[in-house]
Structure 1
Amino acid sequence: MATRSSRVAATAATVIVLAGLATACNRGSSAGSAASGKPKIGIDLPRADSDFWNSYAQYIKSGVSSQGLNTLPVTNSQNDVTKLVANVQVFENTGAKAVVMAPQDTGAIASTLDTLAAKKIPVVSVDTRPDKGQVYMVVRADNKAYGTKACEFLGKQLAGKGKVAELQGDLTSINGRDRSEAFASCMKSEFPGIQVIELATNWDGSVASSKLQTTLAQNPDLNGIYMQAGGVFLQPTLALLQQKGLLKPAGQPGHISIVSNDGIPQEFDAIRKGQIDATISQPADLYAKYALYYAESAAEGKTFQPGPTDHNSTIISLPNGLEDQLPAPLVTKDNVDDKSLWGNNVGH
C-alpha cells in the first residue's frame, strides 16, 4: 500500500503531467511537428508507490516536454515484470526506436531484452542493471557505494558497537544485492562489534514495518537502522518508532541512528528534525535527464565508450553493455540545505 507521502507525491506528479501537457498544447504547431519528426521513444515507469520514483516520473515528464521528444504514451509497470513485458511489446508494435525502462526484477527481463536486441531496438535501463540481455546504456549510481557509505556513516555514529536492523530491498534486484553485500562486507571488516540483523522486504514498506516491529520486540537494545530505500521505508519506519516511543531526536539519549538511501524531500525534512541522521542522494533528476539523453542518442545511432564523461560520472563496460555511474552524495545535517541536491528542488 502506498504511504500518504507517496500518494501526495503521485498527486503532485499528476498535476505536473497535466501542466506539462497544457504547456505542450500551447507551443504551437512548429514544436509538435519537430517532435513528430524525431524517432519514437517508449518509456516505462517502474512503479508509483515510491516517493523516489514519483519524483523521477516528474522529471521524465518535464524532460520530454522541454526537449520536444517524440515519445509513445508513457506506461507504468507497477513493479510487475509481466506488465513491463506487455508494455514493451506495445512499444515494439507502435514503432519505438529506443526504450527506457527500470526493471525491478533484473533477472526476469532477459528474454525481453533479447527480443528487443533482435529487432535492433536499443534499451536504456534506469537505476537497475539487468543480469543478462543486451542494454545500450544503464543509467545508475554505484549501489555498492550506497551500502559502503551507509555502513561507514552508521558504524562511526555507533562508535563500532551495537545492533543494526537492515531493511533490505528485493534481493532479486541487483540494487538490493549490491547494497546488502557491500553493507555486510563493510560491517564485517570495519565494524565487527556491530551485529547486523538483515530484514528482506521486497521493497515493501508494510513488510519492513512488520519485520522491524518484531525485531524491536526481540532486540530492545537496537540502536541503528539502515533503510535501503527511504521512498518506501521512511514513513512506516518513523510511524512505528513514534508509536513505540522510540523516535528520539539525534543527540538525545535513546536515539536510534538511521541512515537511508534515496534523497527525497521527506528524508531531508527528517534529517532537519533529527529523526534520521543521513541519506545517500540517489539522483532522480539525473536519472531522468540522462535516460532521455541516451535514449535519443540510441535512436539516432550514436555510440559511447567507457571512460569519464562531461557530467562528473564514469561510463564502465559491462558484459552486456555500458553503464553510466552517476554521483550519489551522502547527505547529513551539515549539507541537507545544499540547493544542488535534487531533493531541495521538488515539491513534497
Structure 2
Amino acid sequence: MKLTRTRSTATAATAVLAVLALATACNRGSAGSVGSGSDKPAIGIDVPRADSDFWNSYAQYLKKDVHADGINALPMSDSQNDVTHLVANVQVFRNTGAKAIVMAPQDTGAIASTLQELSTAKIPVISVDTRPDKGDVYMVVRADNRAYGTKACEFLGKQLGGEGKVAEFEGALDSINGRDRSEAFAACMKEKFPKIKVFELPTDWKGDVASAKLQSLLAQNPDLNGIYMQAGGVFLQPTLALLQQKGLLKPAGQKGHITIVSNDGIPQEFDAIRKGQIDATVSQPADLYAKYALYYAEAAAEGKTFEPGPTDHDSTIIKLPNGLEDQLPAPLVTKKNVEDKSLWGNNVAQ
C-alpha cells in the first residue's frame, strides 16, 4: 500500500531534510532501496555491525532475499555495534513509513525504551539473534544459545579426556547471547568435567581484547590445551594469528595441538577445520536468520499472528514474557560433516 502522509504540506520539506540529515549521521548502508518498491508494506532493516564475518554474511543473505522475494525494504542501515546509532536508525525508519522493523540489538537491555516506543506506535519488531531483556517484540529469530555453550563444553570435554585448561572468550555479558553461552558452558563444565579448569575471559565481542587476554593467559599457563570462542566471526583470525606467532598452531592429531571449538559457522571456520587449526564450530544459521526475519517482518506488517509450537521449518516457537521466539536449528560442525552442502558456510562467498 502507499504510505500515508500525516504531516502538512507546509512542513513536509523540512521533515524530509531532517530525515536525510539523520540518515547521513547514522551511517546508512549503501545498498539503497533494495526492495521492490511495490505496494507491499515497507520494512526497515538494521544490520548490527560490519566488523564480523558472520554479520557480513547475514547482510549478504538479507540483500539476496529482499531482491528474490520482492520485499519493499527501506534503505538498510548499520548501527555499528552502538545502541545510540540503532535508536537513531529506528527513528529514520519510523519517519520514512516502516510498517515493521528488523534489528539485532547487541545491548539487549538498553533497547527496551525504544521497543516500548515502537510498540506504542504499533510498529512490530523482529529481533535477530538477540533476545531483548524488556520491551515488546513480535518475534525473536534466534537459535538456542544455551545449547551453543553446552555443545562446546561437551565437545571440548570429550576431546580433552575430561582434564586440562580451557580459555573461554566470553561475549559481552550485557547481551543475552553472551550470558546464555557463558552460563551454559560453565554449568556443563562444572557438572560433567570438573577436572577441567576454565579461564573466563570477558571480551565484549572484540577480537583484539580476546587476543591480548589469551597472550597473557598463555604466559601464565603454557599448558593451556583448549579454547572456546563464543564468536568465530570476531575471534578466529586474531586467535590463529597469535597461536601461529607463538608456534602453538599445531594441526589436530599432532602433539601440542590446542583443541578449539567456536560458534558461528562462517566459511573461514570451515577452512580452519579442514586444515586442522580448529576442531569444531556450532553453525549459527545466518541464512535462516535473514530468511525468517524477513518472513516474520512481512507477516507482522500484514497483521498475522503465530502461536508457540513446532514450525514447518524444523524449529520451535516458544513463548517469552515479551513476545515469541522462533528457535532455529544450529548443528555442531566437525571434520566429519564440514563438507555438508546444506550448511550455509559452504554456500556463501568469502
TM (norm. structure 2) is 0.90
Equivalence for 2:166: 164
Whole-Å separation in 1 of the counterparts to 2:346 and 2:38: 34
Which one-letter code corresponds to 1:170 in the other structure?
A: A
Which residues in structure 2 correspond to 1:233-272 (within 5 Å)?
Answer: 233-272=235-274
From 106, 109, 114, the counterpart of 2:108? 106
User: Which amino acid in structure 1 is aligned with residue 38 of structure 2?
Assistant: S
SS at match of 1:260: strand
Match of 1:136 in 2: 138
Partner AA of 2:283 in structure 1:
S
Deviation at 1:216, TM superposition (A): 0.4
Shift of 1:94: 1.1
2:340 aligned residue: 338
Corresponding letter in the other structure for 2:214:
L
What is the DSSP-based 3-state SS (H/G/I as helix, E as strand, rest coil) of the residue aligned with 2:260?
strand
Give the counterpart letter for 2:321 in structure 1.
Answer: P
For the residue of structure 1 that corresponds to 2:62, the secondary structure is helix
Find the counterpart in structure 2 of residue 230 from structure 1. Answer: 232
Q: Report the 3-state secondary structure (helix = DSSP H, G, I; strand = E; otherwise coil) of the residue aligned with 1:147.
A: helix
- Residue by residue, what CA displacement relative to the aligned partner does 1:44-100 show, whole Å, maximum 9, x if unpaired? 000000000000000000011011111111000000000000000111111110000
> Is 1:323 aligned with 2:347?
no
| 3-state SS of 1:82 partner | helix
Alignment equivalent of 1:174, drawn from 166, 173, 176: 176
Q: Specify the code of the residue in structure 2 equivalent to 1:306.
A: P
Q: How many residue pairs end up in the alignment?
A: 322
**Superposed CA offset, 1:258-287 (max 9, x none):** 000000000000000000000000000000
How much does 1:347 deviate? 1.1
Between the aligned partners of 1:212 and 1:61, the Cα distance in structure 2 is 36
**1:119 paired residue number:** 121
Measure the CA separation in 2 of the matches of 1:70 and 1:258: 42
- Aligned-partner SS, 2:130: coil
Q: Which runs of 4+ in 1 moved over 2 A?
A: none
Q: 2:96 aligns with which of 83, 94, 97?
A: 94
* Whole-Å separation in 1 of the counterparts to 2:228 and 2:71: 39
Superposed displacement of residue 175, structure 1:
0.1
| Corresponding residue SS for 1:198 | strand
Q: For 2:156, what is the secondary structure of its paired residue? A: helix
Aligned to 1:221: 223
| Matches of 1:186 and 1:88, distance apart in 2 | 38
Partner residue in 2 for 1:70: 72
Gaps of 5+ in 1: 1-12, 25-31
Aligned residue number for residue 56 of structure 2: 54
Amino acid at match of 1:46: P
The answer to whether the aligner puts 1:306 opposite 2:308 as a matched pair is yes
Q: Secondary structure at the match of 1:238?
A: helix
User: Counterpart of 1:99 in structure 2: which amino acid?
Assistant: I
Paired letter, 2:274:
R
1:27: which partner in 2? Answer: none
Q: Deviations over 1:180-204 (max 9, x none)?
A: 0000000000000000000000000
Mapped to 2, the partners of 1:265 and 1:216 lie a distance apart of: 27
In structure 2, the residue corresponding to 1:36 is in which secondary structure? coil
Distance, in Å, in 1 between the alignment partners of 2:38 and 2:161 is 59
User: Matches of 1:39 and 1:291 in 2, distance apart?
Assistant: 15
AA aligned to 1:110 is A
Cα distance, 1:163 vs. partner? 0.3
- Give the alignment's TM-score, normalised by structure 1: 0.91
* Structure 2 spans left out of the alignment, 5+ residues: 1-28
Q: 1:42 aligns with which of 41, 44, 67?
A: 44
Name the CA distance, whole Å, in 1 between partners of 2:74 and 2:283: 30
2:189 is paired with a residue whose SS is helix
Q: Deviations over 1:227-250 (max 9, x none)?
A: 000000000000000000000000
CA–CA distance in 1 between the matches of 2:201 and 2:156? 17
The aligned residue for residue 20 of structure 2 is none
CA deviation map 1:82-127 (0-9, x unaligned): 0000000111111110000000000000000000000000000000
Match of 1:296 in 2: 298
Percent identity of paired positions between Structure 1 and Structure 2: 80
Letter in 1 for 2:265: G
Determine helix, strand or coil for the equivalent of 1:134: coil
Deviates more, 1:91-100 or 1:48-57: 91-100
Aligned-residue offset at 1:36: 2.3
